[in-house]
Structure 1
Amino acid sequence: MATALSAVVPSGLSAGVVAITLAAAVLHAVWNAVAHAVPDRLVGFALIGVAYTVIGGVTALVVGLPPAPAWPFVLASAVAHVFYALLLWASYQLGDFSQVYPVARGTAPWVVAVVEVLLGHHLPVLQLVGILVISLGLLTLALDGGRPSQTTPPALGAAVATGIFIATYTVIDASAVATTPVLVYATWMFLLQGPVMPVVAFARRGRRLGTPSWSVLLAGLGGGVVSLAAYGLVLVAQTSGATAAVAALRETSIVIGAVIGAVFLGERFGRGRVIAAVVVTVGIVLVDL
């Protein structure tokens, strides 16, 4: 068991950072599954935004303002997270969770690595192999079940775009937490992005939004709380300085998400998607070794 774990856990991480990052991976997959499972996903994402706003607002009264040099990072990350949330919502409207979630998460490190190659940076052989492995896994997910249906390209397009913004805010946040207290940074980043999805929901529906049922209310607000916990743990792990290793280990959420989709959401082609998700995760680890 220890040997198997060492094969997928990047070197340079302490046991504590590994535990924190794995906990974040589980929580991240769980809140995404909850967001996908809510029957009215627009309301679900709006409630997640409400949780961000309320918790962020209360915490901001305690921790105060970020230092002046941190504001560009806070604002840039909030904007990237807004686009991420909008695209993630679109992805879940268009596709199955066990397909679009691994594609979104797997695209981020793949894009970063490919951009480095295109810019002429020399990558070690293992990282080049990792790019090919991720590509194989993503292609398998894209062609899952055979020939793509009419709904597949839009869903995968939204998932890939989501992954690009994941890569964007990951780079921003990793730079920020090196010089800014994690709690202060996370508080204001989530507080600033929180109101956007509720505003979007109201703009689209107006009074037709109605009053959500208790189950939807619990799922949306609970998903927001779990999301805050998941990303807070990631930011704490990134303060270790091993940003690439943390990012790689965090993407074990890809496998967790595929399993949740297959086992708990009853989605088709479950076994194939789990295998493809494992392939993507192995490729990410190779890229970040």
Structure 2
Amino acid sequence: MTPAVIALVLCAALLHASWNALLKSGSDRLRAITLMTLASGLAAVPMAIALPLPAPAAWPYVALSAVLHVGYNVFLARAYRFGEFGQVYPIARGSSPLLVTMGAALFAGEMPGAIALAGVVLVSAGILSLARGRKADLGSTLAALTTGVFIACYTVCDGIGARMAGNANAYSAWLFMLDGLPMVLLYRIWKGPLNIDLRNTDTLKTFGGGVVSLVAYGIVIWAVTLAPMGPVSALRETSVVFAALLGRFFLKESLTARRLSACSVIAFGAYCLGHPA
């Protein structure tokens, strides 16, 4: 990867950790994530209008990814309902690079090297260390691991689809537009009408988080058209470090030496997993 791609993906990692911290800080996580997806979908409309349509071959991937994103959103909200941000986020994000690397090898012919395989052990060890924490909750841990599976699936799907689309930004725009509506419908089924008060500060912050998520993942989709999916995914998962710091300073969560070292192992393992050597 070029320095420019690396810098932008690291920026995306920080943005992603930031909107997840915003989601965790709210009391109704499902409502917050529904508002975020709605905001990102609305923000994507001008992009979709201004940019050319994705190539026909990319549309099945857009549709599949939209479905996978709904699953990701639902399980992420569930994980945050029962678990700490500083614990849920590293498990969800740290478990995905090994699955992305395997998926990229299977569906895109991107074979990992010895260093990448060593990353599997490091990531797994880091996840196990986090799951054994005193405040670990089985339900939130399983939800976080399931979230990681969805992350891996939509990352591989989007990596292939964006390459076929001819324009990564157009692919991102249509993906986010399609992602917003199902979440609004699910929220209505589960909890009733989604009332939106634009005078409410929390609502505005949540909408801002949705726009941030659009930018963050848009960068990742653009990056996987220029570099292998494994390295991009691995670099993005350095967001676990940002997440631990955000959880400590803004959400008042504990940052013990064990938790910090576990996050470091996950981040380093994620990097090794995506290493091209």
**How does the TM-score come out when normalised to structure 2?**
0.89
Q: What amino acid does structure 1 have at the position aligned with 2:191? A: R
Q: What amino acid does structure 1 have at the position aligned with 2:204? A: L
- Write the distance in 1 (CA, Å) between the matches of 2:227 and 2:194: 47
Identity %: 36
Task: Provide closer, same or farther for how the CA distance between residues 105 and 64 of structure 1 changes in structure 2, counting only shifts above 3 A.
Answer: same
Q: What amino acid does structure 1 have at the position aligned with 2:146? A: A
Task: Specify which of 132, 144, 147 is matched with residue 121 of structure 2.
Answer: 132
* Match of residue 178 from structure 2: 192
Q: What amino acid does structure 2 have at the position aligned with 1:266? A: K
Task: Specify which of 251, 258, 262 is matched with residue 272 of structure 1.
Answer: 258
* Match of residue 150 from structure 2: 165
- Write the distance in 2 (CA, Å) between the matches of 1:45 and 1:208: 12
* Match of residue 12 from structure 2: 24
- Write the distance in 2 (CA, Å) between the matches of 1:139 and 1:93: 21
* Match of residue 242 from structure 1: 228
Aligned counterparts, 1:46-65, within 5 A: 46-65=34-53
Task: Provide closer, same or farther for how the CA distance between residues 78 and 127 of structure 1 changes in structure 2, counting only shifts above 3 A.
Answer: same
Work out whether residues 263 and 270 of structure 1, in 8 Å CA contact, stay in contact via their aligned partners in 2.
Answer: no
- Write the distance in 2 (CA, Å) between the matches of 1:23 and 1:233: 9
Work out whether residues 258 and 270 of structure 1, in 8 Å CA contact, stay in contact via their aligned partners in 2.
Answer: no
Instruction: Say what the alpha-carbon RMSD is for the aligned residues.
Output: 2.5
Report the secondary structure of 1:194's partner residue.
Answer: helix
List runs of 5+ in structure 2 lacking aligned partners: 106-110
State the 1:113 CA deviation.
5.6
State the 1:249 CA deviation.
1.1
Report the secondary structure of 2:164's partner residue.
Answer: coil
* Match of residue 83 from structure 1: 71
* Match of residue 6 from structure 1: none
* Match of residue 141 from structure 2: 156
State the 1:223 CA deviation.
0.6
Superposed structure 1 runs of 4+ greater than 6 Å apart: 114-117
Work out whether residues 60 and 184 of structure 1, in 8 Å CA contact, stay in contact via their aligned partners in 2.
Answer: yes
- CA deviation profile, 1:120-173 (whole Å, cap 9, x unmatched): xx975433432211111001100113xx65xx1100000000000111011111
* Match of residue 4 from structure 1: none
Paired positions, count: 271
Q: What amino acid does structure 2 have at the position aligned with 1:251? A: E
Q: What amino acid does structure 1 have at the position aligned with 2:201? A: S
Q: What amino acid does structure 1 have at the position aligned with 2:138? A: P
* Match of residue 223 from structure 1: 209
Work out whether residues 102 and 277 of structure 1, in 8 Å CA contact, stay in contact via their aligned partners in 2.
Answer: yes
Q: What amino acid does structure 2 have at the position aligned with 1:18? A: I
Report the secondary structure of 2:254's partner residue.
Answer: coil
List runs of 5+ in structure 1 lacking aligned partners: 1-12
Aligned counterparts, 1:82-101, within 5 A: 82-101=70-89
- CA deviation profile, 1:183-232 (whole Å, cap 9, x unmatched): 11011111111112222222222258574761221121011000001011
Report the secondary structure of 2:41's partner residue.
Answer: helix
- Write the distance in 1 (CA, Å) between the matches of 2:263 and 2:144: 14
Work out whether residues 99 and 141 of structure 1, in 8 Å CA contact, stay in contact via their aligned partners in 2.
Answer: yes
Work out whether residues 113 and 131 of structure 1, in 8 Å CA contact, stay in contact via their aligned partners in 2.
Answer: no
State the 1:273 CA deviation.
2.1
Q: For the pair shown, which has the larger CA radius of gyration, 1 or 2?
A: 1
